[in-house]
Amino acid sequence: MQKKDRKNSHSIKYKNADDKKKILKRLSIIEGQIRGIFGMVDEDRYCSDILIQISSAEKALRSLYNNILENHMRTCVADEIKKDNLDVIDEIINIIKRNR
């Protein structure tokens, strides 16, 4: 995935060294959930069981989304506002709108 050219092109920032490890661990768990769903579909498992697993994966992704959004707002967005770059507010509004 290529990084888009942006006026506000920050890399993800972490409060401490463990934060990145935690995010990667959560992504690994989500990846496992998706692989599990794939296997369930491949094995023609009962629809309700598959739907429960999809719901679980969605909740895990939502939680990760919220965590990264909060981190972004506390670091990158705050930095840009301190620099008097208020365009970052429009960026956040668009991100939140896309996620509804």
- Note the pLDDT tens digit of each residue in 57-66: 999 999 999 9
45 in a structural domain: yes
1 in a structural domain: no
Tokens 């023609």 identify what position? 44
Q: Taking residues 52-76, what's their average pLDDT?
A: 94
CB atoms closer than 10 angstroms to residue 91:
17
- Residue 30 pLDDT exceeds 60: yes
8 in a structural domain: no
Q: Taking residues 35-57, what's their average pLDDT?
A: 98
The range of the structural domain enclosing residue 35 comes to: 17-98
**How many independent structural domains does the chain possess?**
1
58 in a structural domain: yes
Start-end of H helices in the chain: 17-42, 47-72, 78-82, 87-98
- Note the pLDDT tens digit of each residue in 7-19: 556 688 777 778 8
Q: Taking residues 48-71, what's their average pLDDT?
A: 96
CATH number for position 89: 1.20.58.1000
93 in a structural domain: yes
6 in a structural domain: no
Tallying the residues shown for the chain, one arrives at 100
